[in-house]
């Protein structure tokens, strides 16, 4: 483009802008943020209540050549959104949807009733304290898609980090009001890879793009994969110490699985893992003290219902929430309301994509080196762990943190939640570790109130609450 042309284009743009400004203010702002307006979600099917916050959903193209687009859903904070930080939530898998897990059964405002058609408000939604953004990543997950079907067979850690970075470069253009806003990344499980990897990509991007700096302040991961060796070592010890597997299987796991990767285990290790699963029985390994979502649970639940009076004050734990989401997010009217490209995106909405999971191309054996790099840059980094998860248990996380050899600032202590021990905390130089007592793999699902306390403490950079001493007065 010649200089003259460029000057002309800029002139034309300003001219059109002015014209609209004179004619109608609303049209002017619509022109500048047109896509943002189009992505606004009005009342959703099954939403029988009014809300005090705005939300938007749609796509951001991360690769034009191949036609890759990631689906996002943004919820503004309930109060004063313009003064609150932006918090991203990612789920893992690889292949699992942040809409299905993070939003609909953990930290999002909208959860789905048993009928799969009706929504209810989550009283502990994280948009009480921040603007929260969910992104389904990579392509092939949830409503995210690629027009090049081969892309779904070639996802991996590296391409996911690159696409996620591109997502944010573009997303901040779509939502310029968030440019420069304090930005935090949170999530769990396999997002223990995505989150440090994206943080590293953002930090490097910022070095080379002074005009497009993404104001990343820190990240927080829960029950996160961090290091294949420590994750496995800690997992076997957890399974054995809580009494879920036999002594013999414990020994064999340590012999045959020692140095294999977490995702791609050896044939012999797989055999012992199968034996261990058999020994554990029909249990929810993501939350060992709560009932699994099985036919048995449904039968038990029906019996219970018949005995109980209607109108429970407190919503009982429901292990089958994912099933309700599968019904809801496959409704065509719901997909329309969310601006889903149903022609391009996966034909059936799934909580996790087997295709993405089975074809994962590269998985870092450890992300501890990224922690070492980022800790020195002064990012706020928190790691939390629900202590009744047998998939990425608290023991695994402790081994990984120990390997960082960080000096302790504030020693191990209990933290409190309304007079009860909510868990434990240790603060290191550059990293804070929080155990959430009685929570499974998805901490905000099992301990929603405590998880809200956690995000509040994280965002304000303060320690977890101590036991309040009751005064005499
Ligand atoms: C929601 O707001 C509308 C318009 O103000 C009102 O007519 C309606 O009764 C409200 N619904 C509920 C459930 O509060
Ligand atoms: C995918 O292809 C459809 C048309 O088939 C097009 O409308 C859409 O914009 C493409 N998506 C991307 C991300 O390029």
Q: Which residues are catalytic?
A: 189, 389, 441
Using CA atoms in the order 419, 423, 428, 430, what is the torsion angle rounded to 10 degrees?
A: -100
pLDDT at 152 over 90: yes
Residue with tokens 């070639």, as numbered in its chain: 154
Residue 266 Cα distances to 141, 190, 262, 473, angstroms: 26, 20, 10, 64
pLDDT at 300 over 70: no
The confidence score (pLDDT) of residue 431 equals 98
Give me ligand 1 centre to Cα 50, in Å: 6
Closest residue by CA, ligand 1 atom 10: 50
Query: Per the omega criterion (within 30 degrees of 0), is the bond before 94 cis?
Result: yes
Nearest to 125 by CA among 37, 51, 36: 51
Q: Label residue 250 by pLDDT band (50, 70, 90).
A: very high
The confidence score (pLDDT) of residue 471 equals 53
Nearest to 229 by CA among 362, 375, 402: 402
The confidence score (pLDDT) of residue 21 equals 31
pLDDT at 304 over 90: no
pLDDT at 19 over 60: no
Average pLDDT estimate for 110-132: 97
Q: Which tokens belong to 131?
A: 């603007």
Q: Residue 59, Cβ neighbours under 10 Å: how many? A: 23
Q: Is the CB of 208 under 6 A from ligand 1?
A: no
243: buried, middle or exposed (CB in 10 Å: 19+, 13-18, 0-12)?
Answer: exposed
pLDDT tens digits, 412-433: 999 999 899 999 999 999 999 9
Average pLDDT estimate for 19-32: 36
The answer to whether 108 and 134 are in contact (CB under 8 A) is yes
Give me ligand 1 centre to Cα 43, in Å: 11
Closest residue by CA, ligand 2 atom 10: 67
**Shortest-distance atom of ligand 2 to CA 147:** 1
Tell me which ligand sits closest to the C-alpha of residue 51: 1
Closest residue by CA, ligand 2 atom 7: 344
Between residues 471 and 269, the one the model is more confident about: 269
Average pLDDT estimate for 12-29: 33
Residue 442 Cα distances to 171, 218, 248, 390, angstroms: 27, 20, 30, 11
Using CA atoms in the order 427, 433, 439, 441, what is the torsion angle rounded to 10 degrees?
A: 180
Best probe residue, ligand 2, of 341, 343, 345, 346 (max atoms within 8 Å of C-beta) = 341
Give me ligand 1 centre to Cα 49, in Å: 7
The confidence score (pLDDT) of residue 8 equals 31
pLDDT tens digits, 331-361: 999 999 999 998 887 789 999 999 999 999 9
Q: Cα–Cα distance between 161 and 220 in angstroms, integer? A: 17
Q: Cα–Cα distance between 35 and 169 in angstroms, integer? A: 16
Q: Ranked by mean pLDDT, which of 259-263, 267-271, 343-347, 423-427 comes out on top?
A: 423-427
Tell me which ligand sits closest to the C-alpha of residue 43: 1
The confidence score (pLDDT) of residue 342 equals 84
The confidence score (pLDDT) of residue 347 equals 82
Q: Is the CB of 147 under 6 A from ligand 2?
A: yes
pLDDT at 459 over 70: yes
Please state whether beta strands 145-146 and 86-90 pair in parallel, antiparallel, or not at all (unpaired).
unpaired
pLDDT tens digits, 97-109: 999 999 999 999 9
């Amino acid at each position: 483009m010649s200089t003259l042309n460029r000057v002309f284009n800029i002139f034309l743009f300003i001219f059109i802008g002015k014209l609209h400004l004179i004619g109608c203010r609303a049209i002017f702002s619509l022109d500048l943020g047109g896509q943002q307006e189009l992505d606004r979600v009005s009342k959703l099917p099954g939403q029988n209540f009014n809300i005090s916050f705005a939300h938007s959903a749609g796509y951001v193209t991360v690769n034009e050549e191949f036609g890759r687009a990631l689906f996002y859903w943004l919820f503004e904070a309930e109060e004063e959104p313009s003064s609150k930080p932006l918090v991203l939530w990612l789920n893992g898998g690889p292949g699992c949807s942040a809409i299905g897990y993070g939003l609909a059964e953990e930290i999002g405002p909208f959860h789905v009733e048993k009928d799969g058609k009706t929504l209810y408000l989550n009283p502990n939604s994280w948009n009480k304290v921040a603007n929260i953004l969910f992104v389904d990543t990579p392509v092939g997950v949830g409503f995210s898609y690629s027009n090049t079907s081969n892309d779904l067979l070639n996802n991996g850690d590296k391409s996911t980090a690159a696409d996620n970075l591109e997502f944010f470069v573009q997303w901040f253009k779509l939502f310029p009001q968030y440019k420069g806003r304090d930005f935090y990344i949170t999530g769990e499980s396999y997002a223990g890879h995505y989150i440090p990897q994206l943080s590293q990509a953002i930090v490097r991007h910022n070095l080379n793009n002074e005009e497009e700096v993404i104001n990343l302040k820190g990240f927080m991961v829960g029950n996160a994969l961090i290091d294949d060796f420590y994750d496995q070592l800690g997992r076997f010890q957890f399974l054995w110490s809580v009494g879920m597997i036999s002594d013999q299987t414990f020994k064999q796991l340590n012999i045959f699985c020692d140095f294999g990767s977490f995702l791609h285990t050896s044939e012999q290790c797989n055999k012992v893992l199968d034996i261990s699963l058999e020994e554990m029985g029909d249990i929810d390994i993501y939350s060992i003290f709560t009932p699994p979502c099985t036919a048995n649970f449904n039968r038990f639940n029906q019996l219970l219902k018949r005995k109980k009076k209607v109108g429970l004050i407190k919503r009982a734990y429901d292990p089958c929430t994912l099933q309700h989401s599968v019904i809801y997010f496959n409704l065509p009217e719901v997909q329309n309301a969310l601006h889903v490209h149903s022609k391009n995106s996966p034909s059936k909405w799934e909580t996790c994509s087997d295709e993405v999971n089975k074809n994962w191309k590269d998985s870092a054996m450890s992300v501890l080196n990224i922690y070492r790099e980022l800790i020195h840059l002064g990012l706020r980094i928190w790691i939390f762990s629900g202590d009744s998860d047998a998939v990425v248990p608290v023991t695994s996380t402790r081994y990984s943190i120990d390997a960082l050899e960080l000096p302790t600032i504030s020693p191990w202590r209990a933290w409190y939640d309304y007079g009860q021990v909510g868990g434990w905390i240790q603060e290191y130089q550059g990293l804070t570790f929080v155990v959430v007592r009685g929570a499974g793999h998805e901490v905000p699902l099992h301990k929603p109130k405590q998880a809200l306390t956690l995000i509040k403490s994280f965002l304000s950079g303060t320690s977890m609450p101590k036991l309040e001493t009751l005064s005499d007065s």
